[in-house]
Structure 1
C-alpha cells in the first residue's frame, strides 16, 4: 500500500460524522458586532479584489500600454513569454502549495513578484542594457503569479453560495480591473504631453508603490474557515496533508472529473488574446498617450462585461443554472466571433513593416478605440464564464484550488505561446488569426461539457477531492489472510 493511500485512509477515517453525504448541512449563526461586516463573504472577496487591484491590476495596466510602455516591445515580449512559461509549470502544483501554506500566505508571496517586475522596467528605463534583469524578473513573477491566482481562484469560488457565484466573480473582477483603470489613468495623465512614445520614470515609481502596498493587504484578510456564508454555512477550511497527497490530487482531479478536459482549450485561449490586443494593436498603431487612454477604456469595459455576464446573466434566479450556462455560452461565443470580425478590417490595414500612429486628436481614433473596448468586454466575459463553470463543478476550496491551478497553468501556456510569437516578430495578421480561430474553437469544445456536466445544483459527489474508483490495494500475504481488494477509496470535503 502506497504512502499516499495510507494518508488518504487516515484522513478519511478521521472525518467527523457530519461530513457524511447523508448528514444534514450545519447552519451557523452569523457573527455579531463588527465581525458581522468584516467577516462577511462580500467584504472578504472585496479585499481579495483589492489585493489583485494592487498587484495584477497594475501589471495589466503596464502590459496594456503595449511593450510595457517601452518603445521597443521585444524585451517585454521576451519577459512575458518566460513569465507565462514558468507560470504554466508552477500552475500545475500551485493548488497544492496553496493548500499547504494557506491562502493568506500564498497571496502575500504571490504579490511580491509584481513589485519586482515593475521595478525591472524602472531599471531598464534608467539603464537600457538591463534587458536580462527584466527577463529574469518575468521568470520570478511567473512563479509568484501562479501562487497568487490559485489562492485567488479557490477563495473567490468558495466564499459565495451556489446562487451568488456570478455576483461574487463580478465583484472581484470589477475591483481587480479598477487597478487597470487607475494604472492606465496614471499613465495617461503623466504622459499626456510626452512625445517620447514611452512612459517616464515617475509612472513606474507610482506603479511600484501601489504594488508594494498590495504585498501587505493579505495580512488584513481573515482565514476562510472563519467566514460564514450568507446561508449560514461555513466556508471549508483548506486542509494541510502531505506534499505527496497534494500532488496525487492533480491526477485524481482529472480521474474523478474528466469533463474538465473539455475546458482546457478555453483555458489556453483566455490570455492568448492579449498579445495581439496590447502589442499587435494598441502598441503598434497608437501614440503613448493614446495607448494610456485605450487601456483605461479597455479595463472600464472589462468591469462592465464581468458585471453584465456574472450578475445579470449567470446569477439570474428566474431560470435554472443549466439554462444560465447555455445563455452564457451563447453570449460569449457571439461576442468573441463579432469582436474578431470587426477587428479584422482594421488589422488588414497595417503590418509590422508598415504601421502608422493614431493620436487621441485624430478623426479615426474613436472608431479604433471601440475595438479595444469590445475586446476588453469580451475578455472579462470569457474569464467570468470560465470561473463560473469551474464553480458550478464544486464548492470545495481544495478541489477548486486544483481546478484553478489547471486553469492558470493552461492559460499561461497559451500566453507564453502568443508572447513568443511576438518576440519572434511573427506577422500581426498571423497572431490575430490564430487568436480568432482558437477562441471560437475552444468555445465549441466547451459546449459538450456545459451540456453534460453543469447541473442545477452541486451535489455531494461533486465535493469529493479524492475519489478513486476500482483501486486495488494488495497487502503482503500473511498466515490466515488473503488479498484485500478495495473498490472505492474516498476522501470527502464538505
Structure 2
C-alpha cells in the first residue's frame, strides 16, 4: 500500500486523533480539579496510583509494544481511560474511593502502552527535517481533545450550582474515550507505511526482550539522561497544584471548564509554533536547543511570578465562595503538566505556598542540566534517514518498541 493513507503524516494525524479521544479527554477531566468532584483528595490519590503505575509500566511497555505492535498496544491502553471515566460516574452515586483509585492504577498501565506506541510512531515516521513539524501537529491534535473535552462540562454544567459535574458529563467522556480505543485499530502496521518517494519509514526493532531490557538499563547510565532528570520531574510536577489548588479550589464548575478551554488552546498554538521553530534551517540543532530552553525559562519565570502574586491572596485554610466566570476580578490560571509525587503532596494537605515554591524551584533547577545537553546536541541524528544500523519497517511484521524512542532520546 503506497497511497495517501500509508503516508507518515496521515498516520501521525491518526495517532493524534487516538490521543485526542483518550488522553486529551482525560486532561480535560483532570484539569477541572478533583476530576470534576468537590472532594479533590480522592482524585489526588487516584493520580498518585496512576502516575506510580505509569512510571513502572513505562519501563516494560516498550517490550510489549515491540511484540504486539503500536496499534494493538494503543487500543488496549485506550480502554483504561474509559474505565477511569466510568469510575468517576460511579463515584457520583456511591462515593467509592477504592474503585476510582484502582481505575487510576490501571489507567497508569494503559497510559504507558498508549504513550509508548505514540512515541514509537511520532518520533520514527517523519524524516529528520520534519520531526518538529510532525510532533507539533500531533501535539495540536492531541490537545484539541482537551479543548473539546472541556466544552462538555462547560455546556452540561452551565447552570449547575453543585460542586461536582453531572452524570452526563462522565457518560460523554466514557463514550468518547471508548471511541478513542477503537480508533487505534485504524492505524497501519509500520511495515505498510512509506514516505512520498516510496521509501519505507526507518524504525528500530529489537529482536528480543533481553536486548530491550539492556537498552533501557543503559539509559540510567547515560549522562544526558541524568542531566535531564530534573526536567523530566518538573514536566509532570505541577498538575496537582494548578488543577486542584488553583482551578479546583478557587473557581466554580463552569469557570473551571472555561479556564481549561483556553489553557489547552494555548498548548495547541504553543506546540505548533515551537515545533516550527525547532525545524527552522536558520539555526543549527544545537542553537535551536539553546534558544528553545531560553524561551522556556523566561516564559515560565513570568508565569510563576504571576502565580505567586495570585497565590498570596488565599490559603488552603480559607473558606471562599468559588469564583464564577462573570465575577469581577476574574483570573485565568495558566496550567500545565503533573506527576505522582505532587498529587500525593496535595492529597496529604500540604499548604499551598510550599507547593507553588516547589513547582517554581524545580523548573529553575531543571534548566542547567537541560542546557548541558543542549550544548552537546549533534547536528544530525543519523548519517542518513535510512542509515544501515536502523532496520526498515518492511522487514517482518515491522513492530516498533520503545527502543526507537530510546535511541532518538540518547542521540539527539
What is the TM-score when the length of structure 1 is the normalising length?
0.76
Equivalent residue of 2:350, what SS? coil
Are residues 1:97 and 2:64 paired?
Answer: yes
1:70 to 25, 32, 37: 37
Are residues 1:433 and 2:398 paired?
Answer: no
Kept after mapping to 2: 8 A contact 1:285/1:355: no
**5+ long unaligned stretches in structure 1:** 1-29, 380-413, 466-491
Are residues 1:286 and 2:280 paired?
Answer: no
Deviation at 1:243, TM superposition (A): 2.0
Alignment partner, residue 423 of structure 1: 347
User: Alpha carbons of 1:293 and 1:228: their partners in 2 closer, same or farther (altered >3 Å)?
Assistant: same
2:9 to 42, 53, 57: 42
* RMSD of aligned Cα (Å): 2.1
Deviations 1:248-297 (A, max 9, x none): 22123455x53222112111111111111100110010011100100111
**5+ long unaligned stretches in structure 2:** 391-406
Deviation at 1:244, TM superposition (A): 2.3
1:119 to 74, 82, 86: 86
2:227 to 253, 262, 275: 262
Alignment partner, residue 159 of structure 1: 125
Q: Distance in 1 between matches of 2:182 and 2:206?
A: 23
Alignment partner, residue 239 of structure 2: 274
Are residues 1:358 and 2:282 paired?
Answer: no
Equivalent residue of 1:431, what SS? helix
Q: Distance in 2 between matches of 1:67 and 1:176?
A: 22
Deviation at 1:463, TM superposition (A): 8.5
**Greater relative contact order (CA < 8 Å, ≥ 6 in sequence):** 2
Q: Distance in 2 between matches of 1:197 and 1:427?
A: 22
Are residues 1:443 and 2:367 paired?
Answer: yes
Kept after mapping to 2: 8 A contact 1:57/1:179: yes
Are residues 1:87 and 2:54 paired?
Answer: yes
Are residues 1:245 and 2:169 paired?
Answer: no
Deviations 1:430-465 (A, max 9, x none): 11110011011112211111101x111113599969
Are residues 1:215 and 2:138 paired?
Answer: no
Are residues 1:173 and 2:173 paired?
Answer: no
1:149 to 107, 110, 115: 115
Kept after mapping to 1: 8 A contact 2:89/2:170: yes
1:456 to 363, 379, 386: 379
Are residues 1:110 and 2:74 paired?
Answer: no
Alignment partner, residue 51 of structure 1: 18
What is the TM-score when the length of structure 2 is the normalising length?
0.90
Are residues 1:334 and 2:298 paired?
Answer: yes
2:285 to 321, 333, 336: 321
1:61 to 28, 38, 47: 28
Equivalent residue of 1:55, what SS? helix
Kept after mapping to 2: 8 A contact 1:102/1:238: no
Equivalent residue of 2:353, what SS? helix
Are residues 1:309 and 2:274 paired?
Answer: yes
User: Alpha carbons of 1:258 and 1:96: their partners in 2 closer, same or farther (altered >3 Å)?
Assistant: farther
Kept after mapping to 1: 8 A contact 2:24/2:145: yes
Deviation at 1:337, TM superposition (A): 1.1
Deviation at 1:234, TM superposition (A): 2.0
Kept after mapping to 2: 8 A contact 1:225/1:237: no
User: Alpha carbons of 1:460 and 1:260: their partners in 2 closer, same or farther (altered >3 Å)?
Assistant: farther
Aligned length: 390
Kept after mapping to 2: 8 A contact 1:161/1:231: no
Equivalent residue of 2:278, what SS? coil
1:345 to 303, 309, 334: 309
Deviation at 1:232, TM superposition (A): 5.0
Kept after mapping to 2: 8 A contact 1:187/1:292: yes
Equivalent residue of 1:199, what SS? coil
